Amino acid sequence: MPTKPRNDPPPELRRAVAERSGGHCEACGLAHHARGARDQARAWHPEADLGGYSRDRLRQLFGEAAPRLIRIVLTVRRRPQAPDDHDPQHYEHLCQHCYHVRDRDLNVARRQQTMHESRVQATLDAGQPPLF
């Protein structure tokens, strides 16, 4: 099955965006390569803080599982609706979590648009003028 070609931003664009961000996620502020864990509510806890949490606090935040340590890796991503050019203003520097939140929001919007278009088409196919 053919795969969609990757459209990775070129190195000079990634460098310009990283310079602007100062090495921090432009949505939540976490630093590139920061180590820590996200709790059940997806809130960030630096690794250095976790050792000071009581067993009850850890259970309250993370449930029965131990906190899963991760390292933040920032990614350059084109802003939603931005032109597909190489203007650094059209790109943002995001951590994994913020990247996925943006994806989720975009996918919800796309799904709603597709559902709306399908309903309009079904109404037109039935020979009725669309009411919405």
Binding site for Zn ion (CB under 5 A): 25, 27-28, 95, 98
Q: Tell me how far, at minimum, the Cβ of 100 lies from Zn ion, in Å.
A: 10
Q: Tell me how far, at minimum, the Cβ of 25 lies from Zn ion, in Å.
A: 3
Q: Output 38 or 90, the one with its CB closest to Zn ion.
A: 38
Q: Output 9 or 97, the one with its CB closest to Zn ion.
A: 97
Question: d(Cα 124, Cα 132) in Å, to the nearest integer?
Answer: 11
Question: d(Cα 22, Cα 11) in Å, to the nearest integer?
Answer: 16
Q: Tell me how far, at minimum, the Cβ of 116 lies from Zn ion, in Å.
A: 30
Question: d(Cα 111, Cα 63) in Å, to the nearest integer?
Answer: 32
Question: d(Cα 122, Cα 100) in Å, to the nearest integer?
Answer: 32
Q: Output 76 or 95, the one with its CB closest to Zn ion.
A: 95
Q: Output 69 or 115, the one with its CB closest to Zn ion.
A: 69
Question: d(Cα 78, Cα 87) in Å, to the nearest integer?
Answer: 10
Q: Tell me how far, at minimum, the Cβ of 75 lies from Zn ion, in Å.
A: 10
